[in-house]
Amino acid sequence: MSAEAQLAHERNAVPLGLRGPALSGSDLESASDPLTGTPRKAASTPASAALQRFVHDCGAGHRWWTPWFVADYAAVLAVGGAWLGVAGLRPFERPADLTDTDLAHPIYPGGNIVSSSMLTFISVGVPLIVGALVLVAAAIIAPRAAGVPAPLVRRFTLREAHTQALGLLLAVLLTSLITDVVKAWAGRLRPDFLARCQWSAQLQACTGDRAVVEEGRRSFPSGHASASAAGMTVLAVFLGTVTARFVDCTALASTRASRAWRVAVPALPLLLAAFVGISRTQQYVHHPTDVIAGAALGVVVALLVHVGYVHGA
């Protein structure tokens, strides 16, 4: 590949930073330097081999942003707007069995164990903060440990941060949209519904606050469990794939121990999602099956977003 071809390849990089084709040994011999554009000889040192992998296998030569991302922004905003729009859907009014002990739990005092603001921080804030710290650390380590030029590393980290952030927002918002629509359709009663209802035998109707009673009909699936599972799954996949790809492309590590850590570390965020889900059963606002269904929904949507959007980057 000549210097002109290398520069043209960078200028015409496709949106989302798709990887370039693998290079053969003869291609590597004629490859040009990604910074100066001058021809270079085949790699004979680990540092130059790492540079070749970083440029050609990891797509570090691609732009981190193109105008095509505007369509992605519009999609995220559309999903977010749809989610806000379905918030006013009235739930299906399923009749309550006044003798059902599963619906007779008291209202938990003191509000939610995991508040709405805390849920937002866990689902969106934690993945963004941890992801940023990981990419910043990688940007500092790679030039020193693998001999990859700092400008290429910065371009790589910007592209990954941008794509991962969009994928995170899309996963959490899409999960929340599906969750709230299913909540209204199902109309399943919460474990504390009878305490919310304050049934009147004389009126043959609930006498509790209307908003509180309607919220008691939104048990399935758990929104806390689905949103936290979506955010933590995005973070887990990020730690397990993006960091592993970075390590592979820079030859920072190749031992069995490093591969074991790639499995152990990504599992940790799932504990936080489990904490959020279990807390919903501890305060009797969700049945265990609500939490399981919500968590499964969040995981599935997050994986679909990763395969269909983030992985394409």
Q: Which residues of 131-166 are buried (b: 16+ CB within 10 A; e: fewer)?
A: beebbeebbebbbeebbbbeebbbbbbebbbbbbbb
- Cβ atoms of 1 and 32 closer than 8 Å: yes
- 224 is annotated as an active-site residue: yes
DSSP-derived secondary structure letter, 103: G
Could you identify the residue written with the tokens 């990981």? 134
The active-site residue out of 286, 287, 306, 311 is 286
The active-site residue out of 56, 62, 105, 224 is 224
Crossing angle of helices 256-282 and 223-237, rounded to 10°: 170
- 62 is annotated as an active-site residue: no
Copy the structure tokens of residue 137. 């650390």
Beta strands in 118-246 (DSSP E): 199-200, 205-206
Could you identify the residue written with the tokens 């296998």? 57
Q: CA 124 to CA 293: how far, in whole Å?
A: 20
Catalytic residues: 224, 286
